[in-house]
Amino acid sequence: MKVLFLGLHRSRKSGVAKVQIELSSALKNEGIIVDEISTQTIPGHEFTKNNEEILHFESLDNFLNYVENKKPYDVLHSHSWAWSPKEMPEDGLEKVKNRFSNAKVIHTLHGLIPKEHEAQRSILKFVDTATVLTYSAKKSFSQIFDGLNYKPEVKVIPNIIKTVEVDDELVKFTKSKIAQKNEKIILYVGRLEEDKGVIELSYAFKDVSSRYKNIKLLVVGSSKTDYKEKIKDIIQITNYQFTGWVSEHDVSLYQKISDIQMLPSKFEGFPLAPAKGLLNGCVIAVSDIPALREIYHLNNLSPFAIKISPAASIDGIINSLEEFLKNPESFREMVKRGQKE
């Protein structure tokens, strides 16, 4: 079988780009040929061949001319609403589908953020199978896209979760450099954007740090905007550290030295960061939104995460942090349950 991923640039520092790489690797391990063509978010398109050779094309037409006389693709798998004809001036998925008319088209909706709905709607008419990451997302899909003239089959396929091995001595050394003795590290991993609740987290941390002096906020991620400066302005002289973007190895390293990882997002599909944090032994606190409620069993008697409720709110984050800080050791069983699941 030969598959073409229509996704984001691999260099994009996003969860979707990471999912593409991990899924591509898993499929190749099964003997499936996987090529990848990126959107035009960076000038031109990046084409990653099955053997990891990378080519660059100025336009989608240039790419299609290149593959014209090669074995056609059996499956086209789009991973981003950016491949919508509404978003890409080159007609995106529609043009690729017209060239490979016999290929089955799969489209993964990694999130159901309102600002993406129109683009998603325009892409779905070319799709045979739409995949979502949770059953709550499948229910939302039916509600959001009710009235489509053509409805694709909808399947629930969760993300692949893989962690990176980290040397124990490096963990001890790094923790000694970042935190004082008995200091609790509160970790955030992800993009610094409004939808991720980082501003609310900043206000909450400032409030909690006025009562708990032995805590430090470790922010792992980057932003295209001035969110880093906004966060600094809010938390001011409280104890914090920014790392910027780091490798997957270092994400695992920071998760292993941290006591609790926060995900106060307003919208999510199936985020990798908290799941990997759990596997790396970190207590996690997540927003009480449909996808995260389902993944971490937030409404069950034995959840896998501390609930941030109201979701993405300052009060909700304060309450979740204080719930943890009052008795951190009581949450070790929660972590073990999540790891088993």
In the chain, the domains with their CATH numbers are 2-156 (3.40.50.2000), 168-340 (3.40.50.2000)
pLDDT at 293: 96
């001011």: which residue's tokens? Answer: 236
Which residues on neighbouring strands pair with residue 33, listed in sequence order? 2
pLDDT at 221: 92
- Decide: 90 and 60 in contact? Cβ < 8 Å: yes
pLDDT at 135: 94
- Decide: 208 and 326 in contact? Cβ < 8 Å: no
**How are beta strands 45-48 and 54-57 bridged, if at all?**
antiparallel
Angle (CA) 91-17-284 rounded to 5° is 135
Dist CA 331 CA 141 (whole Å): 34
The one-letter amino acid code at 243 reads T
The encoded tokens of residue 160 equal 């692949």
3-state SS, residue 307: strand
- Decide: 189 and 220 in contact? Cβ < 8 Å: yes
Residues 71-92: tens digit of each pLDDT: 999 999 999 888 987 777 678 8
Peptide bond into 303 cis (omega under 30): no
Please give the DSSP secondary-structure letter assigned to residue 239: S
- Decide: 33 and 5 in contact? Cβ < 8 Å: no
Long-range interactions of 89-96: CB distance < 8 A, separation 24+: 89/40, 90/40, 90/59, 90/60, 90/61, 91/60, 92/6, 92/39, 92/60, 92/123, 93/6, 93/123, 93/126, 94/126, 95/60, 95/64, 96/4, 96/6, 96/37, 96/60, 96/64
Residues 167-212: tens digit of each pLDDT: 999 999 999 999 999 999 999 999 998 899 999 999 999 999 999 9
pLDDT at 42: 59
Phi then psi dihedrals of residue 157, to 5 deg: -135, 105
pTM of the model: 0.84
pLDDT at 12: 65
CB atoms within 10 A of CB 197: 26
Low-confidence residues of the chain, pLDDT below 50? Answer: none
Query: For residue 173, what are the contacts with CB-CB under 8 A and spacing of at least 6?
Result: none
- Decide: 290 and 136 in contact? Cβ < 8 Å: yes
The whole-chain average pLDDT of the chain stands at: 92
- Residue-wise burial string across 163-175, b where 16 or more C-beta atoms lie within 10 A, e elsewhere: beebeeeebeebb
Dist CA 69 CA 84 (whole Å): 26
Phi then psi dihedrals of residue 309, to 5 deg: -140, 130
User: CA–CA distance from 35 to each of 22, 102, 177, 279, 304 (Å)?
Assistant: 13, 17, 42, 30, 36
